[in-house]
């Protein structure tokens, strides 16, 4: 086949591989859904059959009904589906996240899903997969978004927690319930073994990560203590819990938010948090550029985020780059 003959197209149901008769992260129910990872904008219920990684099976099943048909593949395992061969490769985004490699007649396309290049103790590191066409996210595709070293951010979180403890305050840290919260709990093991209180939505995913052998700080449900006992404690919750009645049980508290959006100071002020910690499970601007170059792709298709800026950059470099219309979201 010609390298620019479309192996994957954007349709009303999602990204469709006609030659394989499957969709990648569809937003409407389909017969066969190949899943890059278990975040809600990439994994939706109702499809007849799901294919995901071995490593992502536990969190995928948590997000689907008990009778959902889920098949798994090991990273790097190759399988014929229709007239193509597919394989799943680490995306470095969250536990079990994958890029989908699709090959037909010697031509290779890769669909990245969401990905990052920073080290993360909770998931397999990103693997560069050479291809002719690379379908990439662009969540943080602006030069302003550049991530500090994760270990330094983890130290900032720990120091903030300890300062609040000395002041007699609880520390409520908001982080996405799947992926970000577990990453923080793993990174903090560098500095302490003290237990952390967690919201129920976080606790469910923590348990799945522990089943997969991920080492994190010990956790307790944020329902077992009297209000006075939370002074000095670290509590982790999803952003949706901010401002809710659930938060009142912790008494006097300082709030923090972990997100790539915290790289821009105005975002933290608008969201009303006391502290913002720059920690993202997506690639920053330098990592997006580096990754696309390393794939050696002749064409780049961008699914969501600041697609216009990234398209312009690569078009100026002589790379065919365009945006696709999808229903994927950004971080939080």
Give me the domains of the chain, ranges plus CATH numbers: 9-144+282-323 (3.60.15.10), 150-277 (3.40.50)
- Intra-chain end-to-end CA distance of the chain, in Å: 39
pLDDT at 48: 98
pLDDT at position 332 over 60: no
Q: What pLDDT shows up at residue 4?
A: 61
**What average pLDDT does this structure show over 109-119?**
97
Radius of gyration of the chain (CA): 20
Asked if residue 228 has pLDDT above 60, the reply is yes
> What b/e readout covers 102-124, taking b as 16+ CB neighbours within 10 angstroms?
bbbeebbbbbbbbbbbbebebbb
**Rounded CA separation 291/91 (Å):** 11
- The per-residue pLDDT for range 155-197, each reduced to its tens digit, is 999 999 999 999 999 999 999 999 999 999 999 999 999 999 9
Q: Is the pLDDT of residue 109 over 90?
A: yes
Separation between Cα atoms, residue 176 and residue 268, nearest integer Å? 16
Question: What is the token pair recorded at 75?
Answer: 């990273």
Q: What is the pLDDT of residues 230-281, one digit of tens each?
A: 999 999 999 999 989 899 889 999 999 999 999 987 666 667 899 999 999 9
Is pTM beyond 0.75? Reply is yes
pLDDT at 29: 98
331 contact partners, CB below 8 Å, separation of at least 6: 139, 140, 176, 259, 260, 261, 280, 281, 282
The H or E element that residue 150 is part of is helix 150-166
CA 320 to each of CA 5, 121, 188, 202: distance values in angstroms, whole numbers, following the listed order:
14, 35, 42, 41
Provide mean pLDDT across the span 301-325: 96
CA pair distance 164, 166, nearest whole angstrom: 5
Residue 151 CA to chain centroid, in angstroms? 18
User: Quick one: DSSP state of residue 153?
Assistant: H
Cα→Cα distances 157→184, 230, 237, 249, Å: 9, 17, 14, 22
Separation of alpha carbons 186 and 94, rounded Å: 13
Confirm if 275 and 260 have CB atoms less than 8 A apart: no
Do residues 140 and 283 touch, judged by C-beta distance below 8 A? yes
């Amino acid at each position: 086949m010609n390298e620019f003959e479309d192996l994957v197209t954007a349709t009303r149901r999602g990204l469709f591989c006609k030659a394989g008769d499957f969709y990648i992260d569809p937003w409407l129910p389909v017969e066969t859904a190949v899943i890059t990872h278990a975040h809600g904008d990439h994994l939706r219920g109702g499809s007849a059959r799901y294919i995901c990684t071995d490593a992502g099976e536990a969190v995928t099943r948590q997000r689907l009904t008990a009778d959902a048909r889920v098949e798994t593949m090991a990273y790097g395992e190759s399988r014929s589906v229709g007239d193509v061969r597919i394989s799943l490769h680490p995306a470095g985004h969250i536990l079990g996240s994958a890029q989908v490699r699709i090959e037909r007649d010697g031509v290779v396309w890769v669909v990245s899903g969401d990905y990052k290049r920073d080290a993360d103790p909770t998931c397999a590191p990103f693997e560069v997969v050479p291809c002719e066409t690379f379908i990439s996210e662009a969540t943080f595709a602006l030069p302003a978004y550049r991530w500090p070293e994760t270990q330094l951010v983890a130290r900032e979180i720990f120091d903030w927690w300890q300062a609040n403890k000395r002041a007699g305050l609880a520390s409520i840290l908001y982080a996405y319930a799947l992926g970000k919260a577990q990453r923080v709990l793993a990174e903090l093991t560098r500095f302490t073994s003290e237990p952390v209180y967690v919201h129920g939505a976080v606790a469910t995913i923590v348990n799945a990560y522990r089943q997969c052998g991920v080492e994190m700080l010990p956790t307790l449900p944020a329902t077992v203590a009297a209000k006075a006992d939370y002074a000095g404690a670290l509590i982790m919750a999803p952003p949706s819990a901010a401002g809710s009645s659930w938060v009142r049980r912790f008494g006097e508290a300082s709030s923090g938010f972990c997100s790539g959006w915290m790289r821009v100071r105005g975002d933290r002020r608008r969201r009303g948090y006391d502290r913002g910690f720059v920690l993202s499970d997506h690639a920053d601007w330098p990592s997006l550029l580096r990754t696309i170059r390393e794939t050696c792709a002749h064409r780049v298709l961008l699914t969501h985020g600041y697609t216009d800026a990234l398209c312009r950059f690569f078009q100026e470099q002589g790379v065919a780059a365009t945006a696709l219309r999808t229903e994927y979201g950004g971080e939080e």
